[in-house]
Amino acid sequence: MSYKDLQDFVKRLEDIGQLKRVPVEVDRNLEITEIVDRVSKAYGPAILFENVKDSPYPVLINAFGTYERTNMALEVNDINKIAQEIENLMDMSSGITFVNKVKSVPKLARLAQISPKKITKAVCQEVIEEPDLTKLPILKCWPEDGGPFITLPLVITKDPETGMQNMGMYRLQVYDEKTTGMHWHLHKDGRRIYEKYRVLGGKMPVAVAIGCDPATIYSAAAPLPKEVDEMIFAGFLRKSPLEIVKCVTNDLFVPANAEFILEGYVDIDELRVEGPFGDHTGYYSVRDLFPVFHVKKITRKRNPIYPATVVGKPPMEDCYLGKVTERILLPMVKLHIPEIIEMNFPIEGVFHNCVIVSIKKSYPGQAKKVMHAMWGMGKMMYTKMIIVVDEHVNPHDLSTVAWKVFNNIDAAGDIVIVEGPLDALDHASNLPRYGHKMGIDATKKWSTEGHTREWPNDIEMLKEIKDMVSERWEQYGI
């Protein structure tokens, strides 16, 4: 049974001892961040701050902050099961992928059952009020941040050409009671829709949902293909349709179970300086000009909870959501690059800076082919480093991967340097959003790849000796 809303998830966390209530007054300006940073890095509980200075609303944070809670949030025992379900939806024989099946929803009962369900009365509209963002317990996370930021917003827009809605997660810097920044990066779907409105002129309707059931929150952050409706994907994860309701001031549909909804518009002729922001890379992202979101109405529950997250030096809460993305991406990647066996986005690589893949190598130069194929797959173009190892190496065993990289490469032939797009948060390249990426071929080299020397075998004990020692282990008294 899917969670009814965020508060249903909070109740479940508390029931199993995974939630800590903090009744004393805390400050949204830096203090909450320092508390959460310590708790997160100690793999501590979710926290509900019940008494936030200058706000009537409690703050929920670190709700996804362990693998156990992330599994709970998505109602699985193992996040790999989500990838298995997606793989099952891929009809390999006919070449119909999950994306194409989503596009043909009426023909597929399984997906038809998870399409959003429109309703006319919703708890997210129990209270309708004039906007005053200062009443919300919006956090200023780090000392050099440009101001307080809404860090878990579900930003909803609609393509003016296709009529298809998009739901993405883009941080919102609060400027005053009624306006925020709208952090649409160049390569994001929200930015693509914004550019269409710039051609049309005028105002672009926008709605922001804050605080939904966990599957819907994750769906907004997931790097889905643009053909996939995030609300359908939320239904897929929830195994039940997401109820949606029309906004009070525009024609956008928003999650009916949200704690808060911000309704408003972006004026396509207006830009404002946004940032800095202490980001998930562990560094501050710099100031830049971004569109401005004007809030016209706030609708909410009578007694809402405000959810937030803090990002910074890993590991933090977002790392666990990143691992969900890794698992969900794997079957899609394997569909296009079938020689890939396993994949790991190390937490230290902050998801877009490094990926390690193991492959079943069957022809010369295959590792380099895999690198280029991955760089050509959507948001994989941001990946600054791709490491390729043989099929018997577990990409999640970083010690073994490091051993292979440190010992198996000849720099002149096994390192590939390419130029191309980079993530907007990358600070190391000379140019913004463009620079160099590296591939490392740490596989065993063949004579057909030009390796003229005999390649040594890994040192491994005979299986019968290992089995014998295991059977006798207690006899040794060690």
Q: What is the band of 101 on the pLDDT scale with cuts at 50, 70, 90?
A: low
Q: What is the band of 343 on the pLDDT scale with cuts at 50, 70, 90?
A: very high
Does the pLDDT value for residue 91 go beyond 60?
A: no
Higher local confidence (pLDDT), 352 or 106: 352
- pLDDT mean over 258-275: 95
Catalytic residue selected from 279, 318, 414, 423: 279
| CATH class given for the domain over 90-307 | mainly beta
Q: Rounded to an integer, what distance in angstroms lies between the CA atom of residue 28 and that of residue 48?
A: 13
| 386 close to 345: Cβ distance less than 8 angstroms | no
| pTM for the full predicted model | 0.86
Q: What is the band of 108 on the pLDDT scale with cuts at 50, 70, 90?
A: very low
- pLDDT mean over 272-295: 93
Q: Quote the tokens at residue 462.
A: 């005979």
Does the pLDDT value for residue 303 go beyond 70?
A: yes
Does the pLDDT value for residue 273 go beyond 90?
A: yes
Q: Rounded to an integer, what distance in angstroms lies between the CA atom of residue 194 and that of residue 267?
A: 10
pLDDT the model gives residue 1: 63
Q: What tens digit of pLDDT does each residue of 197-238 get?
A: 998 888 999 999 999 999 999 999 888 877 778 999 999 899
Q: Rounded to an integer, what distance in angstroms lies between the CA atom of residue 450 and that of residue 440?
A: 17
Active site includes 279? yes
Q: Rounded to an integer, what distance in angstroms lies between the CA atom of residue 86 and that of residue 79?
A: 12
Q: Are strands 149-150 and 172-173 parallel, antiparallel or unpaired?
A: antiparallel
Q: Rounded to an integer, what distance in angstroms lies between the CA atom of residue 219 and that of residue 409?
A: 39
107: three-class secondary structure by DSSP: helix
Q: Quote the tokens at residue 114.
A: 């998870």
pLDDT the model gives residue 429: 87
pLDDT the model gives residue 90: 56
List the single range of 77-81, 95-99, 156-160, 190-194 with lowest mean pLDDT: 95-99
Query: In whole numbers, what is the pLDDT of the chain averaged over residues?
Result: 91
pLDDT the model gives residue 41: 92
Q: Rounded to an integer, what distance in angstroms lies between the CA atom of residue 103 and that of residue 115?
A: 11
| 153 close to 173: Cβ distance less than 8 angstroms | no
Q: What is the dihedral of CA 175, 180, 186, 187, to 10 degrees?
A: 140
- pLDDT mean over 21-32: 97
Domain assignments of the chain as residue spans, ordered by start: 90-307, 337-449
Q: Does domain 337-449 have CATH number 3.40.718.10?
A: no
pLDDT the model gives residue 94: 45
Q: Quote the tokens at residue 119.
A: 């309703």
- pLDDT mean over 31-59: 96
390: three-class secondary structure by DSSP: strand
List the single range of 182-196, 242-256, 331-345, 360-374 with lowest mean pLDDT: 182-196
Does the pLDDT value for residue 93 go beyond 60?
A: no
Q: Quote the tokens at residue 55.
A: 């706000």
DSSP 8-state assignment for residue 240: S
Does the pLDDT value for residue 293 go beyond 60?
A: yes
Q: Are strands 179-181 and 253-255 parallel, antiparallel or unpaired?
A: unpaired
Q: Rounded to an integer, what distance in angstroms lies between the CA atom of residue 281 and that of residue 270?
A: 28
pLDDT the model gives residue 335: 87
Measure Cα distances from 66 to 7, 41, 87, 138, 393 in Å.
Answer: 19, 10, 25, 23, 26
Map tokens 């001892």 to a residue. 17
Q: What tens digit of pLDDT does each residue of 448-464 get?
A: 999 999 999 999 999 99
Q: Rounded to an integer, what distance in angstroms lies between the CA atom of residue 159 and that of residue 205?
A: 10
Does the pLDDT value for residue 367 go beyond 80?
A: yes
- pLDDT mean over 339-363: 92
pLDDT the model gives residue 208: 98
